[in-house]
Amino acid sequence: MKPPEFGYSRPESVAEALAVLGSLGPDGKVLAGGQSLVPLLNLRLASPGHLVDINALAGLGYVRAGRGEVVIGALARHAQVLADQAARSVQPLLAMALAHVAHPVIRNRGTTVGSIVHADPASEMTAVLALLGGSVRLASTDGERVVAADRFFLGSFEADVRPGELATEVVVPALPPRAGCAFTEISRRRGDYAICGAAATVALSTDGSIERVRAAYLSVGPAPVVLDLTESAGDPESAARLATERIETSGDIHATADYRRHLVGVVTRRALTAALAHARGRADG
């Protein structure tokens, strides 16, 4: 279990990074936190021609919480985002979900943007980004483009990042007033990839009635599955029923397809109940 050979660069500016990535084309692979990539290298399941290590780009290690959004730079570690009080108050779902990402030591090194670009179907942050309708900013020597989450995740471990591009930041919209959110997942061991998980948001109208209910699911398909569950009118049981009907599940060594479908209902109920309570608490507060 030793990585295969690869070329290596550690650019000291974004411009240099983009130049290197541009010259490498499909051979180039960005190394950020490495918590997903390096295991794949060690197992020789990945063999990139050249790694472009962005850990010297300290300028990308930001978390900016503004009025309407949280912007997370490519070098912000999970732990940093999780601890960011401003980000937590602008979009509480970030911290709620990040607490479930692996174990603290992994979060010390792993980056939130890297985790999103990795597009693991079991990733908490991909589901969060998909649910909140966030976007990813990609830069290359040709310029920049911004890809919305619903077009970013193409499949299992497949995201819309082109050769020569660097994902410089993700933008996560703020949680609106009179809205609540929650994250829940079920894993075999604490800190493992979830067998099934869900992030949910509930928006209330000014009279306190349910305006909109949405949920995103992880570990149930090649990419995050986002459902509009507004027709449940916020009733967790009915939402669970809807979700279970709409989501196709498959079996693996940890769960049969039926068990996973059952868990879709469980996490829907739990996430929705908590999100509703969260929304009411915020509306009252």
Nearer to another protein, 230 or 244 (CB): 244
SS3 182: strand
Q: How many residues does the chain have?
A: 285
Nearer to another protein, 43 or 146 (CB): 43
Residue 243 near another protein by CB under 8 A: no
Residue 206 near another protein by CB under 8 A: no
Nearest approach, Cβ of residue 211 and another protein (Å): 28
CA–centroid distance for 148 within its chain: 13
Nearest approach, Cβ of residue 226 and another protein (Å): 23
Here the tokens at position 205 are: 């109208």
Q: Cα–Cα distance between 204 and 210 in angstroms, integer? A: 5
Nearest approach, Cβ of residue 59 and another protein (Å): 13
**Closest listed residue to residue 238, CA positions, set 248, 249, 227:** 227
Q: Tell me which residues in 56-115 interact with another protein (CB under 8 A).
A: 56, 102-106, 108-109
The torsion region of residue 178 among left (phi > 0), alpha (psi -120 to 50) and beta comes to: left
Q: Which of 178, 212, 254, 280 binds another protein (CB under 8 A)?
A: 254
Nearer to another protein, 144 or 258 (CB): 258
Nearer to another protein, 23 or 156 (CB): 23
Contact (CB, 8 A) for 162 and 145:
no
Residue 7 near another protein by CB under 8 A: yes
Task: Give the x-and-dash track for 176-205 against another protein (CB under 8 A).
Answer: ----------x-xxxxxx-x----------
Nearer to another protein, 42 or 205 (CB): 42
Q: For residues 36, 40, 45 and 47, what is the CA-based torsion angle, rounded to 10 degrees?
A: 100
Nearer to another protein, 26 or 177 (CB): 26
Q: Cα–Cα distance between 92 and 2 in angstroms, integer? A: 39
Q: Cα–Cα distance between 112 and 121 in angstroms, integer? A: 15
DSSP secondary structure letters along 46-86: ---SEEEE-TT-GGG--EEE-SSEEEEETT-BHHHHHH-HH
Nearer to another protein, 47 or 89 (CB): 47
**Closest listed residue to residue 273, CA positions, set 246, 234, 243, 244:** 234
Nearest approach, Cβ of residue 175 and another protein (Å): 26
Nearer to another protein, 231 or 245 (CB): 245
Q: Cα–Cα distance between 179 and 159 in angstroms, integer? A: 29
For 249, phi then psi, to 5°, come to -120, 160
Q: Tell me which residues in 21-60 interact with another protein (CB under 8 A).
A: 23, 31, 34-35, 38-39, 41-44, 49-51, 53, 55-56
Q: Tell me which residues in 113-172 interact with another protein (CB under 8 A).
A: none
Nearest approach, Cβ of residue 228 and another protein (Å): 24
Would you tell me which residues interact with another protein (CB under 8 A)? 1-12, 16, 20, 23, 31, 34-35, 38-39, 41-44, 49-51, 53, 55-56, 102-106, 108-109, 186, 188-193, 195, 253-256, 258-259, 262-263, 266
